[in-house]
Every structure is written in C-alpha cells, then in structure tokens.
C-alpha cells in the first residue's frame, strides 16, 4: 500500500458508546490529527445531524467539526439527488435528520389516505435507523407504498448496535422483512455501500491505498472498506463479537483491542 495520508473512523462503538467516549479514544484522535493525517468520521448513525454529532463529540473533547463527519443521511440526500431527482419520499426513521436531507422532498403521509390522495403516494420509501417509530402501523404503511411501486432506499443494513444497555435491534432486521414481503431489494446508501467510502476518500483527496478504515462491524465497516481498496482495521469494542469475527466472509487487515491502539499501529505498521 501507499504511504497512508488519511484515516476513516466509525463513531459508534469505536470512539463512543451511547455518545460517551471510550477509553483512550479522544487522545487517539488527537494524536492522529497531530501527525497531519486527514480524518473523516463515517457513521451510519441516523438519529442525529452532522452538526449535532459534531457538537456532542466536541463537548467530549474530540477535535472534530461538522465538516469532518459523513453521515448516512447526508449520503442518502446525495444519492437521491443523483439517482431519484425530484422524488417524493416517505421517511421511516428514529430522530430528526431533515437538516442532513437537504434537497429531498419529504411527504407527511402518516395521516393521509394514499388510496384517495395520489399526491401523497411517495416515489421512494427511505428507511433510516430503528426506534419506537418502527411500529406496526409505520411498517405496514411503508409496505403499502412498496406494493404501489415505490422504490426502497435504506441508509444501512445494520441488524443491531451497541448501547450502554447492551446490543439493541436496528433497522436492518425490519428491512429484511420489508424486502421479503414486498419482493424488492433496497438500495443502500451508507456503509457498506462502496459509494459511501468513495465519498469520504474524495473529500480528503486521497486514493484507497492511502487510507485506513477503523470500525467495530467487521462486515459493514472493515471488509466493505477493504473491497474498495482501503486498509481495514477491526477494533474489539462496540458491537464486536468473537463469533461474528470468526464467521466473517474474510479477514481484516489488522485487529486491535481498541482505537486507543491505532496511533501505534499507524506509526509501526502502516505509515511510512
């Protein structure tokens, strides 16, 4: 690989859990910044905007601002602009992310009879992150839209994520049901979509061989990045499970106990 110039880092489970810094994470990011490496934080988090994430991380001591963060909602907005311009969209998500969906036409279809009001029928159903909003009525409404021909766009396929309570179910579990029931396949915009990693590389102006990706999800973070030519680093924090590691479709380039060990890896193995 070429000399590394940039580091892509997942947030949830790598730098934080339930938005609380993991041991050594703040210092690790500061050390990476100090040696002049470019940094983009890639996250499938769909409950907060980039500005909100940056404010929370900054308050915890992380040296980041909104421009350093690439979210699945922001990537979704760009994807819809490119692939479904002008589409009317129904959003199923936990949290207010409209700020990061600039240019996307969102319908409020919760109280509308789409059988009689054709203007309320969406062209695209967007699935974000799971939460209390993913009840029967909401999922059935999305199913109805898909039966009437709407396209299905999902921000990710994560089945679960790590919180301070343990593992919580995520929208990937519901997405599988919608796909099977509606006999369709979702278009994915966040990790593990190659375009998500490519957007981060383009933002930093580096090639795949000049970057490393650090994540706790071996498939969506690490192996997906490796398939684009980026060096993958798996950390044993967050949603990491030994059984998932053993059953993975391939091997990560590097495995660390935590992101606190990343600066040493960059100094001794990767950077040259």
Higher pLDDT, 226 or 158: 226
Q: What is the mean pLDDT of the chain?
A: 92
Q: How many residues does the chain have?
A: 272
Residue 165 confidence (pLDDT): 85
38 burial (CB, 10 Å; 0-12 / 13-18 / 19+) is buried
Section 91-104 average pLDDT:
91
pLDDT of 264 above 80: yes
Residue 96 confidence (pLDDT): 87
Residue (of 54, 112, 62) closest to 88 by Cα position: 112
Q: Distance between CA atoms of 226 and 3, rounded to whole angstroms? A: 16
Q: Distance between CA atoms of 227 and 40, rounded to whole angstroms? A: 18
Please say whether the beta carbons of 48 and 202 come within 8 A: no
Dig out the tokens for 115 from the structure. Answer: 């059988």
Number of helices and strands (H, E) in the chain?
Answer: 9, 15
- How does pLDDT run across 164-214, given as a tens digit for each residue? 888 899 999 999 999 999 999 999 999 999 989 999 999 999 999 999 999
Beta strands, E only, the chain: 6-10, 16-17, 20-21, 38-43, 69-71, 88-92, 105-106, 124-127, 151-154, 160-163, 166-169, 187-188, 211-215, 231-235, 254-256
- What is the distance, to the nearest Å, from the Cα of residue 34 to the centroid of all Cα atoms in its chain? 26
Residue (of 14, 67, 12, 16) closest to 39 by Cα position: 67
Residue 47 confidence (pLDDT): 84
Q: Distance between CA atoms of 33 and 29, rounded to whole angstroms? A: 6
Residue (of 181, 170, 104) closest to 144 by Cα position: 181
Q: pTM value?
A: 0.82
Query: Taking the alpha carbons of 236, 42, 71, 75 in that order, is the dihedral positive or negative?
Result: negative
Least confident of 82-91, 104-113, 182-191, 258-267: 104-113
Residue 230 confidence (pLDDT): 97
Question: Bridge partners of 166?
Answer: 163
Q: Which residue has the tokens 């100094």?
A: 267
Q: Distance between CA atoms of 96 and 41, rounded to whole angstroms? A: 20
Give the Å distances, CA to CA, from 207 to 6, 134, 156.
9, 39, 24
């Amino acid at each position: 690989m070429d000399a590394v110039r940039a580091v892509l880092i997942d947030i949830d489970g790598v730098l934080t859990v339930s938005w609380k810094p993991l041991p050594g994470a703040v210092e690790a990011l500061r050390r990476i910044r100090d040696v002049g490496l470019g940094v983009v934080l890639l996250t499938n988090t769909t409950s907060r905007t980039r500005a909100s994430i940056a404010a929370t991380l900054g308050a915890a001591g992380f040296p980041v601002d909104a421009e350093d963060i690439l979210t699945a909602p922001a990537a979704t907005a760009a994807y819809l602009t490119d692939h479904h311009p002008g589409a009317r969209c129904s959003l199923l998500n936990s949290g207010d992310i409209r700020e990061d969906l600039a240019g996307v036409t969102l319908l409020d279809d919760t109280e509308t009879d789409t059988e009689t009001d054709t203007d309320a029928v969406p062209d695209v159903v967007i699935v974000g992150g799971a939460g209390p909003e993913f009840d029967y009525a909401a999922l059935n409404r999305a199913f109805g839209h898909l039966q009437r021909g709407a396209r299905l766009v999902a921000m990710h396929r994560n089945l679960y994520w790590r919180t301070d309570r343990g593992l919580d179910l995520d929208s990937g579990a519901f997405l599988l049901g919608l796909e099977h029931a509606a006999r369709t396949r979702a278009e994915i915009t966040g990790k593990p979509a190659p375009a998500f990693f490519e957007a981060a590389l383009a933002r930093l102006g580096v090639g795949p061989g000049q970057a490393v990706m650090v994540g706790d999800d071996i498939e969506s973070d690490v192996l997906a990045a490796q398939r684009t030519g980026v060096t993958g680093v798996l950390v044993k924090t967050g949603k990491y499970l030994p059984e998932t590691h053993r059953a993975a479709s391939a091997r990560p380039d590097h495995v660390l106990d935590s992101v606190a060990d990343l600066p040493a890896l960059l100094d001794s193995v990767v950077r040259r």
